[in-house]
Amino acid sequence: MKKDKGAYHHGNLAESLLDAVDEIASQFGLEAVTLRACAKRIGVSPSSAFRHYSDKRDLLTSFATRALMQLSRNLAVANTRARQDGDNALMAVGLAYIAFAIDNPAFFRAMWNEEIIYAGNDAYVAASEQLSAHLKGGFADSIHDTDPAQLSVEELLAWSSVHGLASLLVEEVVGRGHSREYKLNLATRMIRSMAPAFDKAS
């Protein structure tokens, strides 16, 4: 939702510009994002925006970093809640991954798009490594894992399956015109079909 002009101040301008990236990218695509367009959307001068981000690539790097951090948090929360409630952790983590993509398509498209970001940025690298650690750690601790430093074939199966379906849904190759509920139901059925592979591994 676009906020009223004047609602921004120096303390949160950097974050507000990232909100504007999300709005513009969700509506028109990442290619439509510019610092000037983001500044205009939140009602500040372009010079104010350039004090926080040197160029579009810098802005999108922060946006991708935010996406990685948010996905990491979502996976951790899903796992914790599943274990507290006695639910299937793999199902919860897999659905959290796919729901993140459905609900935040601009985030999902930006996360690993090294053509539009500074992939060597320290904050981005740290966020990427944090998410990678979650995925290597038994797919966010949802499946049996003997080596948290490496991706096992089971972790690769889980990640590639949910990431692949998430991509198909975001790009509307699958599920075009269908509701969020339909898409998550499809994801539930897919994750459930993977269960035998993990039962054998454990």
Domains and CATH numbers, the chain: 1-53 (1.10.10), 56-197 (1.10.357.10)
Q: What is the pLDDT of residue 146?
A: 84
Q: What is the pLDDT of residue 200?
A: 55
Burial class for 186, CB neighbours closer than 10 Å (0-12, 13-18, 19+): middle
How far is Cα 191 from Cα 2, in angstroms, rounded to an integer? Answer: 36
Low-confidence ranges of the chain (pLDDT < 70): 1-11, 199-202
Task: Report the mean per-residue pLDDT for the chain.
Answer: 90
DSSP three-state, residue 69:
helix
Instruction: Provide the 10 A C-beta neighbour count for residue 201.
Output: 15
Q: What is the pLDDT of residue 56?
A: 95
Q: Which residues contact 53 (CB under 8 A, 6 or more apart)?
A: 14, 17, 35, 59, 62
Q: What is the pLDDT of residue 151?
A: 87
Q: Which residues contact 113 (CB under 8 A, 6 or more apart)?
A: 30, 64
Instruction: Provide the 10 A C-beta neighbour count for residue 68.
Output: 23
Which ranges in 86-121 belong to alpha helices (H)? 89-103, 105-110
- Look at residues 59, 50, 33, 39 and name the one whose alpha carbon lies nearest to residue 118: 59
DSSP 116-155: SS-TT-HHHHHHHHHHHHHHHTHHHHTS--S-TTS--HHH
